[in-house]
Structure 1
Amino acid sequence: MRVGIIGHEGLSEISEMLIRGELWRLVTAYGAYELVGVGCLAPGPESWFARAVLDHGGRIEAIVPASAAPAEPAWQRLLGRAAAVHRLAPVGFGGLGDDTGRALVGMVDELIAVWDGRPDGEAARVIEAARRAGLFVQVVWPDGCESP
């Protein structure tokens, strides 16, 4: 099972605690050895999910946008543990765009979205694309979470 992850960054400590618990529960439910977590490994929900997948014995794959700048050591360590790293072409290269959301939707069977439900922003666009593609989207936003 290939499961993608997107989510808000810059969440409060209480939101982090609630979301980490829910992500842990979801990873446990998927069954570790067949699970491949796919995402950009960004700080916050994406890296929390990746660590939960690895802690349960699953594998992770990273999507690295062409515009990605050198990142913090924690991101580099997760990237080093990825079974595959998918580097996207820069905008304008052979007509391909730097569209991580579209790449993610094309690589997974399901999507977890740590999302507050606001209709604007990148998360909403990726969720809509995933639903149009027929993917199951699991929205994670436990009671008590605070929008960034």
Structure 2
Amino acid sequence: MTTIAVTGHMDLTEKSIPLVRAALRDLLTTYADGLIGVSCIAKGADSLFAEAVLEAGGRLVAVIPSRDYRQTKVKPDHAATFDRLVDTAAEVHQVPHETANREAYEAANKVLLERADRLVAVWNGEPPSGKGGGTADVVIQAREAGLPVDVVWPDGAARRD
């Protein structure tokens, strides 16, 4: 049994989505037996990873950063996907924060890393923004904790401006 958490960019371009989806599928086939995927199921990398885990026959653990996350942070264009993934998850872990803010996201990232045997980072390799809680920050934390990190950034992938 392998538990893999995800971190990654939310703002993938439309052309990047199929590239990232295919790269995640390829990576996760290696772990098909007993795969558990841990994701905050945000738009972009988190949801693509969650879908790939389910397609591979794995179990999904959804980590929700705050009690108000669905109402305040999930945009209408992602709501149906978010709700479907929450409903499909084998487990939903609600982080005990009332409001979706930097502190809540950092707490959710801590849960991801504590539960994981390894981390998948859908990451362009750029350094942290300085705001805290972003993809690069999670990669640094995972590496400092000795957690193996698989970086997924296929040729042609890009972030929206």
Fold match by TM threshold 0.5: yes
> Offset of 1:51 from its aligned partner?
1.2
Task: Give me the whole-angstrom Cα distance separating, in 2, the residues matched to 1:90 and 1:59.
Answer: 25
| Range 105-114 or range 116-125, more displaced | 116-125
Whole-angstrom distance in 1 between the partners of 2:19 and 2:56: 19
Per-residue CA deviation, residues 68-115 of structure 1 (Å, 9 max, x unaligned), is 133412211110111111111127xxxxx5221111111100000001
Matches of 2:158 and 2:81 in 1, distance apart? 24
Corresponding pairs, count: 143
In the alignment, structure 1 residue 114 sits paired with structure 2 residue 115 = no
Whole-angstrom CA distance in 2 between matches of 1:64 and 1:128:
21
Match of 1:132 in 2: 144
* SS of match in other structure, 1:3: strand
CA distance in 2, matches of 1:85, 1:69: 13
Structure 2 match to 1:44: 44
2:154 to 135, 138, 142: 142
Q: State whether residues 39 and 49 of structure 2, in contact with CA within 8 Å, keep that contact through their aligned partners in structure 1.
A: no
Q: Distance in 1 between matches of 2:125 and 2:56?
A: 29
CA displacement, residues 109-139 of structure 1 (integer Å, 9 cap, x when unaligned): 0000001111124111111111111100011
- Could you say what the CA RMSD is over the residues aligned between the two structures, in angstroms? 1.7
Q: Secondary structure at the match of 2:92?
A: strand
Quick one: which amino acid aligns to residue 38 of structure 2? V
Paired residues for 1:14-33 under 5 Å: 14-31=15-32, 33=33
Partner of 2:112: 104
**Moved >4 Å (runs of 4+):** none
Cα deviation, residue 36, structure 1 = 0.5
Distance 1:38 1:130 in 2: 14
* Per-residue deviation, residues 44-74 of structure 1 (Å, max 9, x unmatched): 1211111111112111000001151334122
- Partner residue in 2 for 1:86: 93
Matched, 1:59 2:66: no
Which ranges in structure 1 are unaligned for 5 or more consecutive residues? 92-96
Identical-pair percentage: 39
How big is the shift at 1:147? Answer: 2.8
Corresponding position: 1:10 with 2:11: yes
